[in-house]
């Protein structure tokens, strides 16, 4: 049964952010913003100095799809109105006709220490014919752990799944910063977000799979048009991304976790605009700092958000959101709507929804029905785990 509630915050105008010269004095107040020029000719980087942004002004409805989940990390939609859901402890769950099947369709042996475990999931673009789906998880091997992407096949009746093959192996692992989001792009290639495995320098090393967005074929091969020859690395300089999506066939909007003590730095999670071969700068620069050859963020927050999943809103249910980058917030317990000019990469405005209403939010993904789906992550040891455990929510009008 679906339960719903309406969310609307009256009386506050939507904040619009234009280009502010770097010599202009910053605004002050509970949601203070300062724009800094990153480098000549580039879009400006906007720093949110206090808070996370103004309250959202668009009326929405939050529907409870299913409950009773244990740290749901990723959602992959099926052609028959179903969805596969990963639980970080290693279970792949099936939701069919709005109901969570009581038993997992498969259990993956994982190392779920810290931020590891069973993480992202994605279905093959031709799933209806081949029944393939992909998972990113922390594999527990004799004497070591690695992050790995595997391909699995769902049975015809949808009741079980079997392992098919390893797609990418030996992605560096650590207690924290394991990345884990996987998505198929508009080009039919598999994109894999990884973390720096608590070794920041690996993010700048294109021979390492850590701190990157990787791009491979559905068979795990390196595409001939990757930016580095015979190398799956597509974007580098990442700390720990859990969310990215495409605004067009060649441009990604990427959310990334900022530092939590490394090199004396903290906070400053960010959203960046990136293309093939770009370097997002970690750990060489952070905040709105810039350096030749590195891509500065479009938006960064002084306080820790940090971002979970993210999706470009492509549905019609909430037309005001069309083309917005929707980012789930974990510690900040909110959903960010971020509006970026797709031509210039310049932030236009952003606003905050669900502040403190659903707890920690992990996944954000568009469903085939045109609605945005998010998961809570309140049972991950960092939130307040309710009696109904974690949920999948649908955001609609």
Q: Check whether 266 has a pLDDT greater than 60.
A: yes
Q: Check whether 318 has a pLDDT greater than 90.
A: yes
Q: Check whether 20 has a pLDDT greater than 50.
A: no
Burial class for 61, CB neighbours closer than 10 Å (0-12, 13-18, 19+): middle
DSSP, collapsed to helix, strand or coil, labels residue 287 as: coil
Q: Which helix (H) or strand (E) holds 170?
A: strand 161-171
Confidence of residue 263 (pLDDT cuts 50, 70, 90): confident
Exposure of 155 in the CB half-sphere (CA atoms within 13 A): 9
Residue recorded with tokens 């749901």: 72
Rounded Cα–Cα distance for residues 228 and 339 (Å): 31
DSSP state, 338? Answer: E
DSSP, collapsed to helix, strand or coil, labels residue 152 as: strand
Contact 239, 265 (CB under 8 A): no
Q: Taking residues 167-185, what's their average pLDDT?
A: 97
Rounded Cα–Cα distance for residues 86 and 120 (Å): 7
Rounded Cα–Cα distance for residues 313 and 367 (Å): 10
Rounded Cα–Cα distance for residues 267 and 270 (Å): 9
Return the minimum-mean-pLDDT range out of 24-28, 46-50, 224-228, 331-335: 24-28
Contacts of 126 (CB under 8 A, 6+ apart): 132
Q: Check whether 248 has a pLDDT greater than 70.
A: yes
Instruction: Specify the pLDDT at position 237.
Output: 98
Share of the chain above pLDDT 90, in %: 85
Cα 86 from chain centroid (whole Å): 14
Contact 278, 235 (CB under 8 A): yes
What DSSP assignment string belongs to 61-87?
EEEEEEEEESSEEEEEE-TTSEEEEEE
Task: Give 63-90 pLDDT, tens digit per residue.
Answer: 999 999 999 999 999 998 899 999 999 9
Structural domain spans, the chain: 1-69+256-397, 73-240
User: Alpha-carbon dihedral of residues 218, 220, 223, 226, nearest 10 degrees?
Assistant: 110
Picking from 267, 248, 257, the residue whose alpha carbon sits closest to that of residue 340 is 248
> What does the mean pLDDT of the chain come to?
91
Q: Taking residues 215-220, what's their average pLDDT?
A: 98
Share of the chain above pLDDT 70, in %: 89
Residue recorded with tokens 């609605």: 371
Give the chain's length. 397
Rounded Cα–Cα distance for residues 362 and 378 (Å): 9
What DSSP assignment string belongs to 11-53?
T-PPP------TTSPPP-STT-EEEE--STTSPPEEEE-SSS-
Q: Taking residues 310-321, what's their average pLDDT?
A: 98
Contact 375, 119 (CB under 8 A): no
Q: Taking residues 373-378, what's their average pLDDT?
A: 98
Confidence of residue 31 (pLDDT cuts 50, 70, 90): low
Domain 73-240: CATH superfamily, name plus number: TolB, C-terminal domain (2.120.10.30)
Rounded Cα–Cα distance for residues 363 and 99 (Å): 19
Picking from 76, 65, 57, the residue whose alpha carbon sits closest to that of residue 324 is 57
Instruction: Specify the pLDDT at position 21.
Output: 24
Residue 324 sits at the vertex; the CA angle it makes with 319 and 327, to the nearest 5 degrees, is: 125
Rounded Cα–Cα distance for residues 68 and 91 (Å): 13
Return the minimum-mean-pLDDT range out of 67-71, 109-113, 117-121: 109-113
**Both structure tokens of 219:** 């068979």
Confidence of residue 40 (pLDDT cuts 50, 70, 90): very low
Instruction: Specify the pLDDT at position 35.
Output: 56
Strands ordered across the beta sheet of 33-36: 33-36, 45-48, 299-301, 270-274, 251-256, 243-248
Confidence of residue 43 (pLDDT cuts 50, 70, 90): confident
Q: Taking residues 348-375, what's their average pLDDT?
A: 97
Confidence of residue 30 (pLDDT cuts 50, 70, 90): very low
């Amino acid at each position: 049964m679906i339960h719903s509630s309406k969310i609307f915050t009256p009386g506050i105008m939507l904040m619009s952010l234009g280009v502010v010269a770097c010599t202009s004095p910053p605004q002050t107040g509970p949601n203070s913003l300062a724009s800094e020029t990153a480098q000549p000719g580039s879009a400006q980087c906007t720093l949110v100095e206090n808070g996370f942004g103004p309250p959202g002004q668009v009326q929405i409805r939050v529907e409870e799809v299913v409950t009773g989940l244990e740290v749901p990390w990723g959602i992959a939609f099926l052609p028959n109105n179903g969805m596969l859901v990963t639980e970080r402890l290693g279970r792949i769950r099936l939701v069919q006709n709005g109901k969570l099947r009581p038993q997992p369709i498969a259990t993956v042996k994982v190392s779920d220490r810290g931020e590891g475990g069973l993480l992202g999931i994605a279905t093959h673009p031709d799933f209806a014919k081949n029944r393939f789906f992909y998972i990113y998880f922390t594999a527990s091997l004799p004497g070591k752990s690695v992050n790995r992407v595997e391909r699995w096949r769902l049975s015809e009746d949808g009741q079980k799944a079997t392992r098919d093959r390893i797609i990418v192996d030996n992605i560096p692992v650590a207690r924290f910063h394991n990345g884990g989001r996987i998505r198929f792009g508009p080009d039919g290639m598999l994109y894999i977000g990884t973390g720096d495995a608590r070794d920041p320098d690996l993010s700048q090393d294109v021979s390492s799979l850590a701190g990157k967005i990787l791009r491979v074929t559905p068979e795990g091969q390196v595409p001939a048009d990757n930016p580095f020859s015979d190398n799956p690395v597509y974007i580098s300089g990442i700390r720990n991304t859990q969310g990215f999506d495409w605004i067009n066939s060649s441009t990604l909007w990427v959310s990334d976790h900022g530092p939590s003590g490394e090199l004396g730095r903290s906070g400053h999670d960010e959203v960046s605009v990136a293309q093939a071969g770009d370097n997002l700068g970690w750990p060489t620069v952070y905040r709105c700092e810039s350096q030749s050859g590195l891509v500065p963020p479009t938006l960064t927050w002084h306080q820790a958000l940090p971002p979970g999943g993210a999706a470009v809103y492509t549905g019609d249910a909430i037309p005001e959101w069309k083309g917005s980058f929707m980012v789930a917030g974990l510690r900040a317990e909110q959903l960010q709507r971020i509006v970026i000019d797709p031509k210039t990469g310049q932030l236009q405005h952003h606003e905050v929804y669900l502040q403190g209403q659903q707890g920690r939010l992990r996944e954000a993904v568009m469903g085939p029905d045109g609605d945005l789906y998010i998961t809570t992550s309140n049972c991950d040891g960092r939130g307040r785990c309710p009696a109904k455990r974690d949920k999948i929510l649908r955001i609609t009008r």
